[in-house]
Amino acid sequence: MALARVQNFSISLDGFGTGEGLTADAPFGHAGERLHEWMFATRWWSGPGGSGGVDDLFARQFDAGIGAEIMGAGKYGPAGWHEDPDWKGWWGPNPPFHTPVLVLTHHPRPPLEMEGGTTFRFLDASPAEALEAAREAAQGKDVRIGGGPTVVRDFLAARLVDHAHIAVVPILLGRGVRLWDGLEGLESDYRIETIPSPGGVTHLTLTRV
Amino acid sequence: MALARVQNFSISLDGFGTGEGLTADAPFGHAGERLHEWMFATRWWSGPGGSGGVDDLFARQFDAGIGAEIMGAGKYGPAGWHEDPDWKGWWGPNPPFHTPVLVLTHHPRPPLEMEGGTTFRFLDASPAEALEAAREAAQGKDVRIGGGPTVVRDFLAARLVDHAHIAVVPILLGRGVRLWDGLEGLESDYRIETIPSPGGVTHLTLTRV
């Protein structure tokens, strides 16, 4: 059975998955890239000079066995991107997904085929409907719930996530968008494990029981 | 030099140090005692049948070398306790502190001597003033910043804490009082380490650099 998975989703110690003040030049607002430095430092990301330990093991699960991603409108672009017909995401001509990507938006537009196998499809749907569409697009592979924080939270709240990997970075952002809001009692339905990395990041895994 | 220390301060995965709906019968509101079960399970708390691993090592630091505690009004009693002249805290005639305890309150009252060496003193003071008074009362030993979450946060924000031990319990409370609010950038002044326990709790230590 193909799974719905969250991979490499990074939050601060105080629970923020993104900062405040998101713009086209600052996709994570005042957080900058601080939530993701652990991942950039891995061999998976940066090649032979990178770290080869537990951070790398987790990072590599990002695309292993993944056939499609679901992302929120806030991950695809800065507020108002739907008014710009030329907006094609932050990632340039060859985005790092290499699968169909379903973008949840109240302003659907025609599909957008990029280089490298990424196709953005836009749909206005509930989490359950989106997951059904993504499973079909994934053709038997797993579906990654790609974020942002609100989307991960909504899928967790609906118990649609089978397995989640959350990386807790030891910084305090103080403001932004929280991952854990409104998830009281989640531990009843997920087994939670903690794996610290020598680099300072703490990896959490949540596995639906 | 005597230190100001936070010990065994427990929060949920979503950052709450206490629940919602605190009453005289439910000091932690809907959280109940779930934030502290890890501590009750240790040899330090429950005797020879308890767990003897990393949870126990941390738990034992609660009173080791401590000469005084500072606590907030919300830890001493339920809202409105200052209107009850007979309120003597939640802990019965022999509270588990066995040192002077400085209670921060806007409604000071005369000191209260309990059994076992605990004396409650009540003062209306800033964190820095309270710490000065507590250091004097501790007679060369360390001062424990005892909570609740608002008090720990205020002392961290003022950089008055030398060392903090925070136990992150893998439950999501969803509501209550958050520890980490308003502490943006704390990592610049503290070295943060993570130690997972086989029992599921993650111990964080913050050491001022």
Using a CB–CB cutoff of 8 Å, tell me whether A202 touches chain B: yes
Residue A47 neighbours by CB under 8 Å, 6+ apart:
none
Task: Provide, as residue numbers in chain A, all residues whose Cβ is less than 8 Å from the Cβ of B206.
Answer: none
Three-class HEC string of B132-198: HHHHHHHCCCEEEECCCHHHHHHHHHCCCCCEEEEEEECCCCCCCEECCCCCCCHHHCEEEEEEECC
Q: Mean pLDDT over all residues of chain B?
A: 97
- A119/B contact by beta carbon, under 8 A: no
Query: Does the domain at residues B4-82+94-208 carry the CATH identifier 3.30.450.30?
Result: no
CA B87-B88-B94 angle, 5° bins: 155
CA dihedral A72, A76, A78, A84 (to 10 degrees): -120
The amino acid at B65: G
**For position B129, what pLDDT does the model report?**
98
Q: Are A165 and A61 in contact (CB under 8 A)?
A: yes
How far, CA to CA in Å, does A162 sit from each of A80, A143, A189, B31? 32, 10, 10, 26
Rounded Cα distance, A168 and A16, in Å: 9
Cβ atoms A59, A39 nearer than 8 A? yes
Q: Tell me: the pLDDT tens digits for B176-187?
A: 999 999 999 999
Shortest distance between the Cα of B121 and any Cα of chain A, in A, equals: 33
Measured between CA atoms, how close is A181 to chain B, in angstroms? 6
Task: Name the minimum distance, in Å, from the CA of B167 to any CA of chain A.
Answer: 13
Task: Answer whether B13 touches A (CB < 8 Å).
Answer: yes
- List the single residue in A170, A175, A196 with the smallest CB-CB distance to B184: A175
What angle is formed at CA A79 by the lines to CA A78 and CA A81, rounded to 5 degrees? Answer: 70
Residues of B with CB below 8 A from A202's CB?
194, 196, 202
Any A CB within 8 A of B91 CB:
no
- The reply to whether residue A185 touches residue B200, judged by beta carbons under 8 angstroms, is no
CB contact under 8 A, B187 and A175: no
Quote the CA–CA distance of B209 and B206 in Å, as a whole number.
9
- Please state which CATH number belongs to domain A4-82+92-208: 3.40.430.10
- The alpha-carbon gap from A111 to the nearest alpha carbon of chain B, in Å, equals 37
Mark yes or no for CB contact A186/B173 under 8 Å. no
Residue B166 Cα, gap to closest chain A Cα (Å): 12
User: Cα B7 vs. chain centroid, distance in angstroms?
Assistant: 6
Contacts of A196 in chain B (CB under 8 A): 194-196, 202
Q: Which of B159, B166, B172 is the best residue to mutate to test the A interface, defined by the most A CB atoms within 10 Å of its own CB?
A: B172
Phi-psi domain of A32 (left: phi exceeds 0; alpha: psi -120 through 50; beta: other): left
The answer to whether the beta carbons of residues B114 and B95 sit under 8 Å apart is yes
pTM above 0.90, yes or no: yes
Residue A182: count of CB within 10 angstroms of its CB: 14
* CA-CA-CA-CA dihedral for A162, A151, B149, B7, to nearest 10: 40
Structural contact between residues A51 and A131, judged by C-beta atoms closer than 8 angstroms: no
Q: Give yes or no for A205 touching B (CB within 8 A).
A: no
Q: Are B46 and B75 within 8 A, CB to CB?
A: no
The per-residue pLDDT for B88 is 96
Kind and range of the H or E run holding A40: helix A37-40
Query: Measured between CB atoms, which of B172, B193, B195 is closest to A180?
Result: B172
Q: Is B113 exposed, middle or buried (0-12, 13-18, 19+ CB in 10 A)?
A: exposed
ipTM at complex level: 0.91
Q: Are the beta carbons of A15 and B180 separated by less than 8 Å?
A: yes
Residue-wise pLDDT for A69-117, tens only, equals 999 999 999 999 999 999 999 999 999 999 999 999 999 999 999 999 9
Structure tokens at A95: 């985005």
Q: A151-174: string of b/e by CB count within 10 Å (b at 16+)? A: bbbbbbeeebbbbbbbbbbbbbbb
B28 — pLDDT class (breaks 50, 70, 90) = very high
Confidence of residue A135 (pLDDT cuts 50, 70, 90): very high
> Between chains, do B183 and A171 touch, taking CB under 8 Å as contact?
no
Per-residue pLDDT of A40-70, as tens digits, reads 999 999 999 999 999 999 999 999 999 999 9
Helix/strand/coil for B202: strand
Q: Does B181 touch chain A (CB under 8 A)?
A: yes
Residue A206's pLDDT is what?
98
Contact yes or no for B194 and A196 at CB 8 A: yes
Summarize the confidence of residues B85-91 as an average pLDDT. 95
Q: Are strands A4-12 and A163-169 parallel, antiparallel or unpaired?
A: parallel
For B175, which of A13, A173, A184 is closest by C-beta distance?
A: A184
Does B182 lie at the interface with A, CB-CB under 8 angstroms?
yes
If one counts every other C-beta atom within 10 angstroms of the C-beta of residue A198, the result is 9
Of the partner residues B172, B173, B192, the one whose CB lies closest to the CB of residue A200: B192
Q: What percent of chain B has pLDDT over 70?
A: 100
Interface contact B192-A13, CB threshold 8 A: yes
